[in-house]
């Protein structure tokens, strides 16, 4: 009897204190990272690499007891709390009911914090730019933070999740329980689109065939509604008409070399010109020293590449 108790105790000790590997972490949490990428625009490779680094592959006390996978502290937090030593003794960290809430809050933390807004101007596949940008914006104090994230991403080829080249993700029982409030498809893949994909200023776009809505079109091209509105400078409820130019990625900071200037024609708006040359609307305003919302008169010569002196 005593021997059986000893064996049971030893087995409990071994398995109770087993550590999750990076590979196991990826298998468990890749579905969450991909869903968050589709919801918020944060690359799955960045989310997973940060989760691995910040939570020690889910083995840290913050992750195990507080479901906090990203080391986000309590600043402005009204939920449950957990305390741990970090830059100072006994600091306050956010505590979540499950890992899903931690992943969602991480995405929202980046999207809603102005110091990270510039990251969302990057391509979703630019994991190096994102990693360096996070360090630049002060997400972590480690001088090698960006290099560590990039190392994890390249070691496990996590960039394949950003481009849709990763193998279909198997959503295990643990993930299904955690993701009870999520309606997104677990298997991310690049949609081939029903419309022909064209290119302007190295930015892919389509010409709409029918009148539609942002919500309907976003489903067709496998983008989130906020992406379509942002990439095309639209209001969230603005209708889309047949023959509209709709960009599928962010427009560029300047026009192509052969398009130095544009003379405004009667009836043209700044957004029309922005769409015509695939240049970001706010950059077009800035290059011409105009206030947001200001419309130039017909005959005005606008700079498309260099800022007006």
Q: Who contacts 67 (Cβ-Cβ below 8 Å, separation ≥6)?
A: 95, 96, 97, 98, 99, 101, 102
CATH number at residue 142: 1.10.530.10
Query: Between these two residues, 61 and 18, which has the higher pLDDT value?
Result: 61
Give domain status of residue 309, yes or no. no
Which among 167, 177, 140, 169 has a CA at the least distance from the CA of 46? Answer: 140
Q: Are residues 283 and 140 in the same domain?
A: no
Cα–Cα distance measured from residue 204 to residue 250, given in angstroms and rounded to the nearest whole number: 9
Number of folded domains that form the chain = 3
Whether 106 and 124 have beta carbons less than 8 Å apart is answered as: no
> Taking 80 as the threshold, does the pLDDT of residue 184 lie above it?
no
Does an H or E element contain 203, and which?
Answer: strand 203-207
Q: Are residues 217 and 272 in the same domain?
A: no
> Taking 80 as the threshold, does the pLDDT of residue 155 lie above it?
yes
Whether 24 and 56 have beta carbons less than 8 Å apart is answered as: no
Report residue 86's pLDDT band, with 50, 70 and 90 as the boundaries.
confident
Q: Are residues 150 and 14 in the same domain?
A: yes
> Taking 50 as the threshold, does the pLDDT of residue 65 lie above it?
yes
Q: Are residues 107 and 38 in the same domain?
A: yes
Q: Are residues 60 and 127 in the same domain?
A: yes
Q: Are residues 12 and 148 in the same domain?
A: yes
Q: In the predicted model, what is the mean pLDDT of the chain?
A: 84
State which of 207, 222, 247 marks the end of a domain: 247
Q: Are residues 155 and 13 in the same domain?
A: yes
Kindly report the number of other CB atoms within 10 A of residue 52's CB atom: 25
pLDDT at 192: 34
Q: What is the average per-residue pLDDT within 47-66?
A: 95
Domain housing 240: 198-247
Q: Are residues 124 and 235 in the same domain?
A: no
Kindly report the number of other CB atoms within 10 A of residue 227's CB atom: 22
Percent of the chain whose pLDDT exceeds 90:
56
Q: Who contacts 181 (Cβ-Cβ below 8 Å, separation ≥6)?
A: 100
Cα–Cα distance measured from residue 248 to residue 204, given in angstroms and rounded to the nearest whole number: 6
Give domain status of residue 183, yes or no. no
> Taking 50 as the threshold, does the pLDDT of residue 9 lie above it?
no
Cα–Cα distance measured from residue 42 to residue 57, given in angstroms and rounded to the nearest whole number: 19
Give domain status of residue 308, yes or no. no
Give domain status of residue 188, yes or no. no
Q: Are residues 165 and 281 in the same domain?
A: no
pLDDT at 170: 55
105-135 pLDDT tens trace: 999 999 888 888 889 888 888 999 999 999 9
Whether 141 and 86 have beta carbons less than 8 Å apart is answered as: no
Give domain status of residue 102, yes or no. yes
Q: Are residues 71 and 148 in the same domain?
A: yes
Kindly report the number of other CB atoms within 10 A of residue 13's CB atom: 10
Give domain status of residue 192, yes or no. no
Give domain status of residue 276, yes or no. yes
Q: What is the average per-residue pLDDT within 96-100?
A: 95
Distance in Å from the first CA to the final CA of the chain: 89
> Taking 60 as the threshold, does the pLDDT of residue 302 lie above it?
yes
Q: Are residues 289 and 156 in the same domain?
A: no
Query: Between these two residues, 257 and 307, which has the higher pLDDT value?
Result: 257
The residues with which 302 forms a beta bridge, in sequence order, are 262
pLDDT at 113: 86
Q: Are residues 33 and 120 in the same domain?
A: yes
Q: Which residues of 56-71 are buried (b: 16+ CB within 10 A; e: fewer)?
A: bbbebebbeebbbbbb
Alpha helices, DSSP H, located in the chain: 2-16, 22-40, 44-55, 61-66, 99-112, 127-137, 145-156, 159-163, 173-178, 214-220, 225-232, 270-277, 281-287
Query: Between these two residues, 85 and 42, which has the higher pLDDT value?
Result: 42
CATH number at residue 283: 3.10.350.10
pLDDT at 168: 54
Give domain status of residue 222, yes or no. yes
Residue 89 token pair:
């003794």
Which among 86, 92, 95, 97 has a CA at the least distance from the CA of 66? Answer: 95
pLDDT at 171: 52
């Amino acid at each position: 009897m005593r021997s059986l108790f000893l064996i049971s105790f030893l087995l409990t000790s071994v398995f109770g204190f087993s550590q999750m590997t990076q590979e196991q972490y990826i298998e468990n949490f890749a579905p969450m990272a991909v869903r968050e990428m589709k919801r918020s625009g944060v690359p799955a490779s960045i989310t997973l690499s940060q989760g691995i680094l910040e939570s020690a592959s889910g083995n840290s006390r913050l992750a195990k007891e507080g479901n906090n996978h990203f080391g986000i502290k309590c600043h402005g937090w009204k939920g449950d709390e957990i305390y741990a030593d970090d830059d100072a003794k006994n600091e306050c960290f956010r505590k979540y009911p499950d890992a899903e809430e931690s992943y969602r809050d991480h995405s929202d933390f980046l999207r809603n914090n102005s110091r990270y807004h510039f990251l969302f101007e990057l391509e979703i596949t630019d994991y190096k730019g994102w990693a360096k940008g996070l360090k630049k914006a002060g997400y972590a104090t480690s001088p090698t933070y960006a290099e560590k994230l990039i190392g994890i991403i390249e070691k496990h080829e996590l960039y394949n999740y950003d481009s849709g080249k990763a193998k279909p993700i198997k959503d295990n029982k643990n993930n299904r329980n955690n993701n009870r409030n999520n309606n997104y498809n677990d298997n991310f893949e690049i949609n081939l689109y029903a419309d022909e994909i064209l290119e302007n200023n190295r930015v892919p776009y389509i010409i709409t065939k029918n009148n539609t809505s942002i919500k309907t079109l976003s489903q067709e091209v496998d983008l989130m509604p906020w992406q379509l509105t942002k990439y095309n400078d639209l209001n969230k409820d603005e209708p889309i008409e047949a023959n509209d130019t709709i960009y599928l990625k962010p427009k560029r900071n300047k026009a192509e070399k052969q398009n130095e200037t544009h003379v405004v024609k009667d009836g043209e708006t700044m957004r029309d010109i922005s769409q015509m040359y695939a240049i970001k609307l706010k950059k077009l305003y800035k290059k011409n020293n105009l206030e947001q919302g200001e419309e130039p008169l017909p005959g005005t010569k606008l700079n498309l590449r260099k800022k007006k002196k």
